[in-house]
Each structure stands twice: as structure tokens, then as C-alpha cells.
Amino acid sequence: MYEIVELTVPESADAPDAADFAATVEIMSIVENDGYGTTEMSQTVADVLPFFKDPSNPRRLFGVRVDGRIVARAVYDWIITDDEVAVERVDVLPDYRRRGIGTALADHLDNLVREDGRSRIITYAVSKTADGPRLDSPTGFGSVPRENPEVTFLLSRGFTLEQVERASRLALPLDGAGLRARVEAASARSGADYRLHHWVGATPQKWLEQIAMLYTRMSTDAPSAGLEQPEDVYTVERVVSNEANYAKARHMLTAVVEHVPTGKLAGYTTLAVPFERSRPVFQDDTLVLRDHRGHKLGMLLKVANLENLQNEFPGLPSVITWNAEENRFMLDVNEEVGFVPIGYEGAWKRLL
């Protein structure tokens, strides 16, 4: 027998009521590591908590208990400025699969989506490497193993595959002289109209409004195929609040490029750096505004922030990043820098 329970989100990683939340983080880590064939996807409670502390993007967390132990988790989240889209995620420990637990959790989330009057569900699922027939992405780029259990499960529930994302890994350290040469070459190609800036931690007051704009544009400008992602609006207040939360778990390393004639930011990239030097860095967003593309700014931002990373935080093992398979421009940048693929996940959509 098992029961589905809604779990409390603790105030901090060491709060007295953090045990259940910690169990769900461990489940997520096990599922991700198994899917990608690595141990570098492991997360901590401190890593995950900030995502549950953003009131503009609320999350509800559920667990399944078997004999007192939490063996599965489900997350339901949405953007408060959009009344159509819900995002679901269900993770079940390998030893507890094929018992109806995943179906029960997914049904539970679907009922919540309907109660909230939402009509479209998005979910992401890592697909372990496997032989056999493939299910192609409608973008024409990438595929997932057709007979994988997560694929058959999602298809049986009426989801359609909309996009495939590639996870890539960059081994550190990089050669410092070679990296400096890349930065200089990228800067020369971008031209005198663009100037780099970077910082660790909180965004300087000067750039807050423009960073909020760039974060908002990231929600709509990044390739999203047929997912039809809603606009996720960032305000200065939201940026400040989120940065304060993230600072409890990691260092945020940001590089931006300024369009000198206008004094406006044309693009940015961020790296989430763990406090523990034995763990990988996660590449967060990289965006160049459409009006400024074609100047090699993506390469400039990427290599400049990698150089900043090695200068500020030496000794880390790797950087992990995700990109849509159809985003050939950014994949070209990553491959040239040295990123190699380590796995793939499907982006799925269901219309209720």
C-alpha cells in the first residue's frame, strides 16, 4: 500500500522539517544520474530550495510513502501571469516502478491542473541511451528511444514529443592561455561596439532593470519548438529576491555584453558554481537578443565567463549545460569550446 501526501517546503536545508524534502531531492538525483549515466547530476536540498522560493513561479511538492519511506515525488508548478500552462514532473525510484505509483502521481497532478482550469501540460524527462527504434523530434533534430519506459508512459498519457535537449559536459580545467586567446579572438570578431562586463553574486544596481528584461526575454526567445512557452516576466524586485535565495546555495557568475552606442545590454550568460569544489558547475541561461545576433556574441560570452570561472573558482571538475538539439548556433559554440554530449531528454506537451 502507498499514499500520496503533499510535502512541506522547509525554510532552510537544516530546518527540523527538511527530511521529507531531502528525500525527494535524493530521488530526483538518483533518477537524473541513472538517466545520464553519471554521478554529476546529484543535487542538495540547498540547491533545490531556491526554486521553491520564487512566488512568481509557485511549486507544489508531493511524495509517495511506502512503509514510511518516500519512494517517489511529483512537482506541479506554474507561472502566476499565465493561466494556461502547467509544468509537471514525476520521479519514482527504480525499485518501486511498475507498481502504479507513477500513474497515481500523474493522475493526481492532472486533477490539480484541471481544478486550476489549465489546459496545457509541459514535462521534461531524461531518456537513457538504448538500442532499438527511435521517436524523432518534430523539429527534425534529435530523437529518443521509442521503447524506453518514460517514453511509452508519456505517450500512453497523451503527451507528444516536441523537442529534444542535449546535455553536454566540459571537463575542467581548460588551458588558460588557449582560453585567453579565444576571448581575444571573439572580442575582435564582435567589434568595438560591444563591451564585456562580469560579476559574482548579486547584479549591480546599474544593470538590474536590463537583467530583468533579459531574463524575461529568455523565456520567449530561447528555442522552444511546439511547447509554446508562456512569457515569464521578471521585475527588478524578483531578480533581487531570487538572487538572495540562490546565494544561499551557490555562487552565481554572470557575464554580460553591453552595446556601447546605446548603453544597453545585448546578451548575458550565467554559471551556477557550487560551494563544494568537488561538484560540477551548471551552465544556466545564455541569451543574445535577436537584434544583436550575427556578431559572435554567444562565443564571446561563453568563453569570457569560463575564463572568469577559472580565475575566480579554480579546481572545479566540469561544467554541465543543456541545449535544444535544433539550436545549432549554441551547440557549435559549445562543441568548439570542448563540450561533449552525455545524454538527452525529451520536452513533452499534452493538451487537456
- Give the span between the Cα atoms of 118 and 187, in whole angstroms: 46
Q: Return the CATH number of the domain spanning residue range 3-165.
A: 3.40.630.30
- What kind of fold does domain 173-316 have according to CATH? Aminopeptidase (3.40.630)
pLDDT (tens digit per residue) in 41-94: 999 999 999 999 999 999 999 999 999 999 999 999 999 999 999 999 999 999
Residue 222's pLDDT band (cuts 50, 70, 90) = confident
Q: How confident is the model at residue 333, as a pLDDT? A: 95
- Give the span between the Cα atoms of 225 and 324, in whole angstroms: 9
The ranges assigned to domains in the chain are 3-165, 173-316
**Contacts of residue 237, Cβ cutoff 8 Å, sequence gap at least 6:** none
Sign of CA dihedral 157, 159, 160, 164: negative
- Give the span between the Cα atoms of 109 and 211, in whole angstroms: 33
Q: How confident is the model at residue 168, as a pLDDT? A: 98
Helix axes 328-337, 297-312, angle to 10 degrees: 40
SS (H, E, C) 109-157: HHHHHHHCCCCEEEEEEEECCCCCCEEECCCCCCEEECCCHHHHHHHHC
Fold matches, 3-165 and 173-316: yes
Cis-peptide into 173, omega within 30 deg: yes
Q: How confident is the model at residue 223, as a pLDDT? A: 87
Please name every residue paired with 265 in a beta bridge, in sequence order, or none if there are none.
Answer: 258
- Using CA atoms, how far residue 63 sits from 51, 125, 144, in Å, is 17, 18, 27
- Give the span between the Cα atoms of 159 and 142, in whole angstroms: 17
